[in-house]
Amino acid sequence: MKEEELLLENERLRVENDFLKKFNALIQAEEDKLKGKKIKLLKN
């Protein structure tokens, strides 16, 4: 039973880690997009 619980927790943590990586990538992409718009406005 203990081994099965550890395997389930390991899988849960992997899923959580993947989710957080994707979430951070989306935030970074949005920040980069906003920075690009600011640079364009400053150049005009």
pTM: 0.72
pLDDT by 10s per residue, the chain, length 44: 899 999 999 999 999 999 999 999 999 999 998 888 777 767 76
User: At 44, is the secondary structure helix, strand, or coil?
Assistant: coil
Quote the pLDDT of residue 41.
Answer: 67
Residue-number span of the structural domain to which 8 is assigned:
1-44
Number of domain units in the chain: 1
- Report in angstroms the alpha-carbon separations of 8 from 2, 3, 4, 22, 35: 10, 9, 6, 21, 41
Quote the pLDDT of residue 5.
Answer: 98
